[in-house]
Amino acid sequence: MMWPLAPMLVPLATALLCVLTQSTPRRQQMISVVGATVLLITSTLLFLEVQQVGALRVVLGHWPLPFGIEFVADVLGTALALVAALMLNVTVLWQWSDADAAPSSPTLHPLLHGLVAGVCGAFMTADLFNLYVWFEVALMCALGLLAHGGGLHQLDAALKYFVLNVIGTMLFLVAVALIYAATGHLNFSALGDAMARLDAAVALPLYGLLLFALLAKAAAFPLYAWLPASYHTLPPPVLALFSALLAKVGIYAILRLFGNVFTPAPALLYDALGWIAVLSMIAGVLGAAYHWDMRRILAFHSISQIGYILLAIAMASRTGDTAAIFFTLHHSLVKASLILVAALVFRYTGHYDLRRCGGLYASRPWLGVAFLLLALSLVGIPPFSGFWGKYLIVREALSQGAYLWTACALLVSVVTLYSMMKIWLEAFWKPHPDPAWRAPEHVRLAPAWVGVSGLALVVLSIGVAPEALIGFADAAAGALRGDVP
Amino acid sequence: MTSRPLLAEVFVRGLYIVLLVASIWVLLRGHNAPGGGFIGGLLAVAASAAYALTFNATSALQRLPLRPAALAAIGVLLSAASGVPALWSDLPFLTHLWVELPLGIADLPLSTVMVFDFGVYLCVWGALGGYCLGLLRALEEAP
């Protein structure tokens, strides 16, 4: 009966034990590694079990529904929790390398595990108010991680992140309160029925406010300002964890609420979502094309990729949901590995600014190959993994007659390719601007390389054999739409 | 020469104990009457804060049973652990159980909720107390 709660309770317990061992860093790191490994094992087992037997449900404290707080471990939630566990392991592993790792501080490990606990909680809960609580847990831990180091840049980023996210969270809370006032329910399945019975004139503003708040969480246009303002000050392993998880929680909540709980929501919402998606794509990719700092480029890319996922959700069909789930899982892994590659580039050349690095293909060809493969996966050049995600989205958009959106999506792909090639040409292909530069010889990067190549292999195998993941995403989308036998 | 608030010091030494006893009483009373772990914890924070304002934040921190973060962490761990016994009875996590312990004179009611509330108490004392004392210390150290 506790089994489906493991993705929340394991990182929560690990975070607390890490707090208790703050004075002994070695012991704390051991606990952190063990906790991350246990989380990976339990979430893999849970994922496999849910595949076999279907969603597992627990109502905390044995309270009767719809009053008790319910947790549901379903196909989508456990898959995302598995990705979170995987990324946490990579981040913790990375601490052993001397690449641009997070500064070792007694609060780093508790906050990392706390963040994952919040994120996994949001993936598992089946209660609207409880979703808000997990958002808060993740927000507070992310804020602590952003403020790490306490430098001017960090505090500036933390403040921007905090203010913009708190506005989003507060709006979400207001939306939850209004929905509760209108329906008297918070449990997802009870809410779905109650909202469907509500007068359309009352329901539409409630849906709109809820969607607006979640879009701020998902870093969609025009509420994305917090993401590029804060991400580039983070150490790369933490940044990889953030970009794999943080905006995805918002995406997940939109997919869960407007693809599952409130279906069918008014068509107007999905139209608005489609336009917001297209604008996010364009704004994100233009930002990426403009910047020279690799971390900023990749952060802006996330916004544009979030646009693709939102466009898939806006299709409001099973195929659209399939594409959204595929794209979300794929993007978490690809973006995280690209950020880690950028961190390796930084370790070798000493700069994140593309104008100041170069010559890496001659001295570290494998890094160049890894970057190229991952970048092409992100852009979606066949046969790499991103292609399948974009193919699903474009095909569904065309079949629904959304030609303008399709054209925008394809155009944005081209600009994405441009900005990825910019990184490749500047960091790898062109000679280093300083002729006296030599790649440092004495580096301890083995753990970092294990992390990057592990993720890259997963990404490549998705590209080579996409059927497995597409089939899985389709099953998950079917479960969301409730048309699974 | 600094002036010591001698009367306040003597008074707060006693008040500290009284407030802590009262916080435990509120913590236990909460199971049948208004109160509980959160309010009890706040009373304990008030005790720490009164001590820090009269003496100084460092000595108030030394009077906490553990360092604040550890206190809060143990509190949350206790609260989480109080949900575990339910699993042996095949009930969901955090289902609370009650037993009556016969002592001969009267039955002593015990429950896992008490463990949960005590965890909340420690968490509030550790988190809010640590926050409050940290701020007071920053004020004291400010030039």
**B97 vs A: CB within 8 A:** no
Residues counted in chain A: 485
Strand pairing category for B98-102 and B107-111:
antiparallel
Of B73, B84, B92, the CB nearest to A60: B92
Name the 3-class secondary structure at A57.
Answer: strand
List the structure tokens of A24. 């002994």
CA distance linking residue A177 with residue A170, whole number of Å = 10
Instruction: Note whether B92 contacts A19, CB cutoff 8 Å.
Output: no
Question: CB atoms < 10 A from the CB of A365, how many?
Answer: 11
Q: Is the pLDDT of residue B1 over 70?
A: no
Question: What pLDDT does A1 receive?
Answer: 52
Question: What pLDDT does A484 receive?
Answer: 46
- What DSSP assignment string belongs to A217-282? HTT-TTS-THHHHHGGGS-HHHHHHHHHHHHHHHHHHHHHIIIIITPSPPHHHHHHHHHHHHHHHH
CA distance linking residue A310 with residue A253, whole number of Å = 11
**A263 vs B: CB within 8 A:** no
Is B22 part of a structural domain of the chain?
A: yes
ipTM of the complex: 0.88
The answer to whether A239 and A339 are in contact (CB under 8 A) is: yes
Provide the pLDDT confidence category of residue B107 given band limits of 50, 70 and 90. Answer: confident
Cβ-Cβ contacts under 8 Å for B55 (sequence gap 6 or more): B9, B12
CA distance linking residue A83 with residue A120, whole number of Å = 10
Instruction: Note whether A58 contacts B76, CB cutoff 8 Å.
Output: no
Mind listing the pLDDT tens digit for each residue in A71-114?
999 899 999 999 999 999 999 988 888 776 667 788 899 999 99
Within the 51-80 window of chain B, which residues sit less than 8 Å (CB to CB) from chain A? 69-70, 72-74, 76-77, 80
Mind listing the pLDDT tens digit for each residue in A354-388?
888 888 888 888 888 888 889 988 888 888 888 88
Cβ-Cβ contacts under 8 Å for A395 (sequence gap 6 or more): A319
CB burial readout A313-345, b (16+ within 10 A) else e: bbbbbbbbbbbbbbbbbbbbbbbbbbbbbbbbb
Question: What pLDDT does A2 receive?
Answer: 63
CA distance linking residue A462 with residue A245, whole number of Å = 19
Question: What pLDDT does A228 receive?
Answer: 85
Q: Is the pLDDT of residue B32 over 80?
A: no
| Nearest to A423, CA basis, from A239, A248, A300 | A300
Residue type, A219: A
Q: How far apart are the first and last CA of chain A?
A: 25
DSSP code at position A356: G
Question: CB atoms < 10 A from the CB of A106, how many?
Answer: 15
> In terms of CA atoms, which chain A residue is nearest residue B96?
A61
**A16 vs B: CB within 8 A:** yes
Q: Whole domain around residue B126: which residue ranges?
A: 6-141
Percentage of residues in chain B having pLDDT higher than 70: 98
**Residue A318 half-sphere exposure toward CB, CA atoms < 13 A:** 14
| Nearest to A4, CA basis, from A123, A113, A89 | A123
Question: What pLDDT does B2 receive?
Answer: 64
- What DSSP assignment string belongs to A404-457? HHHHHHHHHHHHHHHHHHHHIIIIIISPPSSTT----S----HHHHHHHHHHHH
CA distance linking residue A3 with residue A45, whole number of Å = 10
CA distance linking residue A43 with residue A48, whole number of Å = 9
Residue B141, Cβ density class (10 Å: 0-12 exposed, 13-18 middle, ≥19 buried): exposed
> In terms of CA atoms, which chain A residue is nearest residue B113?
A61
485 residues of chain A, pLDDT tens digit each: 568 899 999 999 999 999 999 989 889 999 999 999 999 999 999 999 998 888 888 898 888 888 889 999 989 999 999 999 999 999 998 888 877 666 778 889 999 999 999 999 999 999 999 999 999 999 999 999 998 877 888 899 999 999 989 999 999 999 999 999 999 999 998 888 888 888 888 899 999 999 999 999 898 888 888 888 888 888 888 998 998 898 899 999 999 999 888 887 888 999 999 999 999 999 999 998 888 888 889 989 899 999 999 999 999 888 999 999 999 999 999 999 999 988 888 888 888 888 888 888 888 888 888 888 899 888 888 888 888 889 999 999 999 988 999 999 999 999 999 988 888 888 888 888 877 777 777 677 888 888 888 888 988 888 888 888 999 999 899 888 875 43
Question: What pLDDT does A102 receive?
Answer: 66
CA distance, residue B108 to nearest chain A CA (Å)? 23
The answer to whether A212 and A171 are in contact (CB under 8 A) is: yes
CA distance, residue A16 to nearest chain B CA (Å)? 5
CA distance linking residue A330 with residue A302, whole number of Å = 12
Give chain B's domain count: 1
Name the 3-class secondary structure at A59.
Answer: strand
Mind listing the pLDDT tens digit for each residue in A325-355?
999 999 999 999 999 988 888 888 888 888 8
Contacts of B72 in chain A (CB under 8 A): 19
CA distance linking residue A174 with residue A210, whole number of Å = 9
The answer to whether A313 and A326 are in contact (CB under 8 A) is: no
Cα four-point dihedral sign A464, A461, A286, A171: positive
Determine the average pLDDT of the residues in B89-97: 85
What separation in angstroms does the CA of A208 have from each of A120, A174, A197, A258? Answer: 25, 12, 17, 11
The answer to whether A347 and A236 are in contact (CB under 8 A) is: no
Mind listing the pLDDT tens digit for each residue in A153-188?
889 999 999 998 999 999 999 999 999 999 999 999
List the structure tokens of A269. 């919402």
Is B48 part of a structural domain of the chain?
A: yes
Give the 3-state secondary structure of chain B: CCCCCHHHHHHHHHHHHHHHHHHHHHHHHCCCCCCCHHHHHHHHHHHHHHHHHHCCHHHHHHHCCCCHHHHHHHHHHHHHHCCCHHHHCCCCCCCCCEEEEECCCCEEEEEHHHHHHHHHHHHHHHHHHHHHHHHHHHHHHCC
Residue given tokens 């949901």 in the structure block: A321
Instruction: Note whether B76 contacts A12, CB cutoff 8 Å.
Output: yes
**A133 vs B: CB within 8 A:** no
